[in-house]
Amino acid sequence: MTSTTLNPSFVLPAVPDLRDVALSARLQQRIDQKTKPLGSLGRLETLMRQLGEIQGREQPQLESPQVVVFAGDHGLAARGVSAYPSDVTWQMVENFLAGGAAVSVLARQHGLALTVVDAGVRHDFAPRPGLQIRKIAPGTADMLAGPAMSAAQCQAALAAGAEVLRGLPGNALIFGEMGIGNTSAAALILARLSGQPIERCAGRGTGLDDAALQRKLEVLRGVLARHPGVLAPLEVLTTYGGFEIAQMVGAVLQAAAERRVILVDGFIVGAAVLVAARLRPAVLQRCVFAHQSDESGHRLMLDELGAQPLLQLGLRLGEGSGAALAWPLLESACRILAEMASFESAGVSNKDA
């Protein structure tokens, strides 16, 4: 598969099929020879095999893991679709950088490098370590008035996300996000790409009460009516996305092209992965889905992606926190595959012996 030029600013990378029947068989044999009953480590065994398949080797290793949080504001937030004001976006970026957010704590706990990307926040940040300024514009446009972004802005965001990824070391990634109003953007993307009604795709986001949820749904129905017939993945992203979501799409595509392990967080990151997978289906072979969030549309999102999450903890924070919580499972999978004795090496009788 060759790369396809979408426009001069972004080249859609090739993401080839990873299927290798011989490698998969060797990995399964290695797993089955460990000192345990067949299949007794459950989903962890599936994870071991997937990590080996992503990396193309029988002994996968996780090197220099990265957490990248993309932040952007949304013009639709002015319509009251969130329980919080837009200023929370930039304030939370400062919190990430100061080390006070949940994902900051979890990144420190697990030794994960944290990078925050200003993809389109309505605020000017002072440069500092750990922050990348990739601002496309100070927030997207109001989708009730027109598309969230122009085609040129979408292409620039895709290119910026890919560039961020190319500049980071390692072979494993957690993507997170911050943007007041971005559950609305993710719900609209899901509704258009799945064909499901918006009522199934949109939820309470940051904690809307019943009346506010109904107002949100009314706004989102109005947005869908304003832009009928939008179905192609990049057109959906341009019309309904956020700059942080578009940059994540570019980063996911680049990570997949480089055969990095992508640990997928919740609803908004899932929307970016959904767009990326519609462009390059083999992206999903590189994705491990961390958890099912408490956002009502996330189960539908996971079904659309054919994904089985590792955890279900009732989370709805975003920012990469659910994926950071699941990270030790990936480490455990690699260590068990590398360090757990086989029946032969341990001198333990197998049931078939």
**Residues catalogued as catalytic:** 319
Distance CA 191, CA 239 (A): 13
C-alpha dist (Å) from residue 234 to 150, 170, 237, 246, 253: 11, 28, 5, 9, 13
Distance CA 92, CA 156 (A): 24
Question: Regarding beta strands 172-178 and 131-133, do their DSSP bridges make them parallel or antiparallel, or are they unpaired?
Answer: unpaired
Nearest Cα neighbor of 249 from 212, 280, 276, 287 is 276
Q: CA 86, 300, 18, 330 torsion: positive or negative?
A: positive
Total residue count of the chain as it appears in this document: 353
Name, in order, each residue with C-beta under 8 angstroms of 141's C-beta and a sequence gap of 6 or more.
75, 147, 148, 149
C-alpha dist (Å) from residue 328 to 65, 211, 343: 12, 39, 26
Distance CA 279, CA 145 (A): 27
| Backbone φ and ψ of 211, nearest 5° | -65, -40
Q: Which helix (H) or strand (E) holds 321?
A: helix 321-339
